[in-house]
């Protein structure tokens, strides 16, 4: 289990611990302020993206030292972890509200409002998160359009996320003042700032509790999975005519599994794979 499960899981995967979605945690004014600032300060997020590019090109020592400080700080405030669809379904099973909202990353990187984020809550009708989002909408300057936020049923939300997976996007949970989990997003390499942090080696998004594996006897060598892996973890082995997964690079998102029509890819618990058990 990852460090977040050890600290916040109470014996299970930390994002399956309902206490981490508690409405009481939103009574903390600093947490509410963090959410409001994050959702409205798009200039600040764009600046953070630029600093990230600069830091990514800095000398190794500088990047390592500054990167470690940034990652440590963000683990306390706002970080994400990749979660496969079956665990997202479990989350949707115990939260009482799911509200689809515009993705702040896409607003900054694409200049477009696209509803790929899902605010989750234990309160009715969107709970306190919806209250906060409505408040931002009232006073709002320059952030994504929040006027058409939609309350979804569990089945509607699962269907939407399966659709995002077919687009090649991986699911992730996000904290606002850890351990509070406020949202599930659907991330792509080009438009997601968090995925850029991974590419630059200053991660604010961490690997799933799982890892993918290919059953060589079942793989037909069609290579459909190679092009959808956003982490460059799959290659084709001509000698066996099948796909191979680099266990150290796999983030366990399960997107490759969703395009493998032959059912050759499965997810297994990361802790059971020695080469990847301590990689997050
Ligand atoms: S999509 Fe499935 S069958 Fe095709 S190469 Fe990948 S693992 Fe093999
Ligand atoms: S190999 Fe599959 S599960 Fe692993 S990161 Fe790539 S797409 Fe995700």
Ligand nearest to the CA of 219: 1
pLDDT band at 75 (very low <50, low <70, confident <90, very high): very high
Average pLDDT rounded to a whole number, residues 24-49: 86
Please identify, by atom number, the ligand 1 atom nearest to the C-alpha of residue 256.
1
Q: Does one domain contain both 120 and 151?
A: yes
pLDDT band at 179 (very low <50, low <70, confident <90, very high): very high
CA of 220 from ligand 1 middle (Å) equals 6
Q: Does one domain contain both 140 and 217?
A: no
Asked whether residue 58 carries a pLDDT value surpassing 80, the answer given is yes
DSSP-derived 3-state class of residue 169: coil
Strands annotated E in 147-188: 150-152, 170-175, 181-187
Write down the residue that tokens 């690997």 correspond to.
207
Closest C-alpha residue for ligand 1 atom 2: 260
Please tell me if the CB atom of residue 229 comes closer than 6 angstroms to any atom of ligand 1: no
**157, 187, 206 - which closes a domain:** 206
Q: List all residues 6 or more positions away from 165 whose beta carbon is below 8 Å from its beta carbon.
A: 85, 171, 186, 254, 255, 258
Please tell me if the CB atom of residue 101 comes closer than 6 angstroms to any atom of ligand 1: no
Q: Looking at the domain assignment, is residue 230 inside a domain?
A: yes
**206, 230, 245 - which closes a domain:** 206
Pocket probe mutation, ligand 1, options 223, 234, 246, max atoms within 8 Å of Cβ = 223
Q: What is the mean pLDDT of the chain?
A: 89
pLDDT band at 136 (very low <50, low <70, confident <90, very high): low
pTM of the model: 0.91
Q: Does one domain contain both 156 and 238?
A: no
Q: Does one domain contain both 169 and 248?
A: no
Ligand nearest to the CA of 243: 1
Domain of residue 34, residue span = 3-206
CA of 52 from ligand 1 middle (Å) equals 35
Q: Does one domain contain both 96 and 59?
A: yes
Average pLDDT rounded to a whole number, residues 101-128: 85
Q: Does one domain contain both 241 and 141?
A: no
In the chain, how many domains are there?
2
On the question of a cis peptide bond just before residue 103, with omega within 30 degrees of 0, the verdict is no
Closest C-alpha residue for ligand 1 atom 6: 225
């Amino acid at each position: 289990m990852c460090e977040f499960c050890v600290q916040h899981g109470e014996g299970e995967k930390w994002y399956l611990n309902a206490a981490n979605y508690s409405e009481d945690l939103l009574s903390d004014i600093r947490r509410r302020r963090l959410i409001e600032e994050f959702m409205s300060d798009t200039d600040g997020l764009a600046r953070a993206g630029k600093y990230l590019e600069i830091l990514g090109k800095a000398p190794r020592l500088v990047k390592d030292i500054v990167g470690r400080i940034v990652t440590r700080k963000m683990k306390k405030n706002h970080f994400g972890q990749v979660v496969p669809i079956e665990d997202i379904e479990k989350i949707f099973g115990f939260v009482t509200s799911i509200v689809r909202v515009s993705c702040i990353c896409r607003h900054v990187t694409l200049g477009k409002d696209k509803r790929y984020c899902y605010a989750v809550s234990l309160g009715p009708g969107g709970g306190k998160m919806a209250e906060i989002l409505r408040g931002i909408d009232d006073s709002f300057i320059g952030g994504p359009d929040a006027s058409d936020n939609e309350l979804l049923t569990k089945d509607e939300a699962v269907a939407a996320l399966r659709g995002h997976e077919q687009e090649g996007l991986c699911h992730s949970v996000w904290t606002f003042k850890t351990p509070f989990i406020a949202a599930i997003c659907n991330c792509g390499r080009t438009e997601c700032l968090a995925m850029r942090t991974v590419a630059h080696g200053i991660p604010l998004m961490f690997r799933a509790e799982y890892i993918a594996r290919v059953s060589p006897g079942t793989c037909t060598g069609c290579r459909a999975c190679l092009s959808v892996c956003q982490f460059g973890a799959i290659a084709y082995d001509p000698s066996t005519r099948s796909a191979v997964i680099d266990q150290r690079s796999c983030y366990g998102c399960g997107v490759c599994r969703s395009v493998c029509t032959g059912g050759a890819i499965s997810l297994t618990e990361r802790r059971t794979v020695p080469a990847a058990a301590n990689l997050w």
